[in-house]
Structure 1
Amino acid sequence: MDARLLDILVCPICKSRLEYRKSANELVCAPCKLAYPVRDNVPIMLEDEARRLPADAS
């Protein structure tokens, strides 16, 4: 994932910064507990495509 892209991407719901998790190839929003997939180096920033994280996930 391009570091410059990570600097400007935010959660489409709450506008918080996202954490890139390379092992899962996804962008995580901690406040919303959502993980957005990255497919072919393209972040899929749609709520319907995001995976819900467990409430106790950090």
Structure 2
Amino acid sequence: MDPKLLDILVCPVSKAPLEWNRETNELICRASGLAYPIRDDIPVMLESEARQLTADEKLKEHKPS
């Protein structure tokens, strides 16, 4: 994930910043509780394509690697 792109992308629902989860290749928004997939190196920033974070994922703070 290009760090410059990550700096300008926000969650379309909450407008909060996103975190990249390298393991799942998703952009995570803790404010809205959504995870947006990245397909073919392109973030899919549609609420209908996002999945809900689990309770554990919402509580866990992501530490970038």
- TM-score using structure 1 length: 0.93
- Secondary structure (helix, strand or coil) at the match of 1:38 reads strand
Aligned residue for 1:40?
40
Unaligned runs of 5+ in 2: 59-65
Alignment partner of 1:2 is 2:2: yes
Aligned amino acid, residue 8 of structure 1? I
1:6 CA displacement: 0.2
- Secondary structure (helix, strand or coil) at the match of 2:20 reads strand
Question: Where does structure 1 differ by over 4 angstroms across 4 or more consecutive aligned residues?
Answer: none
1:54 CA displacement: 1.7
Matches within 5 A, 1:1-58: 1-58=1-58
Unaligned runs of 5+ in 1: none
Paired with 1:30 and 1:56, the residues of 2 have a C-alpha distance of 11
Contact 1:18–1:27 at 8 Å: present in 2 too?
yes
1:56 CA displacement: 4.1
Aligned residues, how many?
58
Contact 1:21–1:27 at 8 Å: present in 2 too?
yes
